[in-house]
Amino acid sequence: MKIEDFNPLWYNVFAKKQIPPRKDEVLMQKIVSIKCPKCNNNHSFYRYGKDKSGFQKYLCRNCKHQFAPDRPSYRPNKNYPRCPICGKATFLHHDYDFYSNFRCGDKKCNHSMFVPKTNAILPASMSKLVGKTDFKRMRYPLHIIITALSMFYLGKNSFRNIALILRVVNNVKVSHTTISNWCKKFAPLFNNLSLELMPMLNFDSDEWHTDETVVKISGKKYYIWFVIDSETRFVLGFHLSPYRDSNQAFTLFNSVKDLGTVNSIVSDRYSAYKVPVKSVLGDKVKHIRVESFKDDISNNLIESFHHQFKAWYKTKQGFNSFDSANNMISMFIFFYNFVRPHSALSGLTPAQVAGLNLTTKQKRHFLLVA
């Protein structure tokens, strides 16, 4: 029979449209092309479920080897770090939001290392200050404002007491509401001054102490995370957050890691510090966890700072908002580091112990004196 004798409709169906092969024929063609990668067997095996990625697995009947031929071949990433112990290649063991855990490919070494994802770690709250960055368009003289701020952050005076002292001693009438606004809105200005002074200081130390404490903002619990240098008593950084987990420790250590070189981090037994110390600060930094008060190394240094901070904080009876709390804590730390003399430091400030040496003119420029 010739093709011209066919019905035109029947001709269009079979001549122009290809009929797909049956499903069993596709499976047979696929099975025939499969080969065991271990024993090169290409005829004696059967299907054996699917792997984690959903690819078909096969079991070789000769060597009992399981394999998935459709799964793409894995090639190690060349950007993975080398093992610092033996120098061999590593593989990704676990991948988390803020860090990656790599292990050495050599089973004898089996070294585990943590690499932080610095771009994924959120910035600390001390970098999120809101307010004024200068004294322009202020009604009162600069020395009156600095005097009021010093009385508030260096002592336990309330806003009404400061207004009373300024009226009696300086003959300046200022409302307590105005003083309250001064103590909040100039935080970005003093933070910029602190950033200008930090390059003059040296924070290379044997120990940095870290801990967290509780404050209340509008009746809700918030946690402040601190890092303090043991040799200078300088507060290196802080982070205010409603959460108490390892993510906040990542944020805290990431904000202070470039300030200096430290040999060890001292903390309490809270497990949230373990991985952030290893990943952000590196394996060379030793993590000392204070188990009891009988240990040779204690965390009393930062507990003493908490005592001073809480003594100032209790007079405030909590904070009204997160922004005001963040600003006021930032200014308290500025006055603690650069203005307040410490009896344990022979009457010097932590900044002076860290190497700050300014003339009287420079102190006025940086608002360290009224």
CA distances from 178 to 77, 137, 149, 316 (A): 59, 14, 11, 16
Res 293: pLDDT: 63
Burial of 79 (0-12, 13-18, 19+ CB in 10 A): exposed
Res 275: pLDDT: 93
Q: Domains for the chain: give ranges and CATH numbers.
A: 3-67 (no CATH), 75-120 (no CATH), 190-365 (3.30.420.10)
Pair type for strands 112-116 and 99-104: antiparallel
Res 338: pLDDT: 96
For residue 72, is it left (φ>0), alpha (ψ between -120 and 50) or beta?
A: beta
First-residue to last-residue Cα distance in the chain: 112
The pTM of this model reads 0.77
Res 221: pLDDT: 94
Res 78: pLDDT: 66
Res 20: pLDDT: 56
Please tell me whether residue 114 adopts helix, strand or coil conformation. strand
- Segments in the chain below pLDDT 70: 1-32, 73-78, 292-295
How many other C-beta atoms are found inside a 10 Å radius of the C-beta of residue 117?
15
Res 156: pLDDT: 84
- Residue the block writes with tokens 């002592």: 155
CA distances from 365 to 145, 351, 368 (A): 14, 16, 8
